Amino acid sequence: MIYLSDLMPLTAVELDYRALMQDYPFIHESKGGLRSLPELIDATSPYPRYEAAYLKHFARFEHEEMLTETLFRRKQAVEVMMHPRFVPGFLHSHDFFELIYVLSGTLEHFTGQECQKLAPGDICIVAPHVTHGIGTCKKDTLAINVVLRASTFAETFFNILQEDTMLTAFFTRALFNSDTDSGMLHFRTENDAEIRQIMLTMLYEFRQNSLYADKMLNSLMTSCFIILLRSHADSAKTSISADRRTNLVPILHYLQNNSDSLTLHKLAQHFSYSDRQMTRLLLQSTGKNFTQLIQHLRLTKARNLLAHSNLPVQEIINRCGYSNPTYFYRLFNQQFQMTPAEFRKHAQT
Domains, the chain, in order of start with CATH, read 4-243 (2.60.120.280), 248-348 (1.10.10.60)
% of the chain exceeding 90 in pLDDT? 38
pLDDT score of 64 = 46
Q: What is the mean pLDDT of each run of 10 residues along the chain (349 residues)?
A: 86 83 72 60 56 47 54 79 86 88 93 85 93 86 93 76 77 70 85 96 95 94 94 81 57 83 93 92 84 89 86 94 93 91 82
For the entire predicted model, the pTM comes to 0.75
Backbone angles phi, psi at 247, to 5 degrees: -75, 100
Q: How many residues does the chain have?
A: 349
Which stretches of the chain are DSSP H helices?
Answer: 4-7, 12-23, 37-44, 51-58, 153-156, 166-175, 193-208, 213-231, 249-257, 264-270, 275-286, 290-308, 313-319, 325-336, 340-348
What is the structure's pLDDT at 158? 72
pLDDT given for residue 35 in this prediction: 57
Q: What is the pLDDT of residue 242?
A: 46
Buried b (16+ CB within 10 A) or exposed e, 305-321: bbbeeeeebeebbeebb
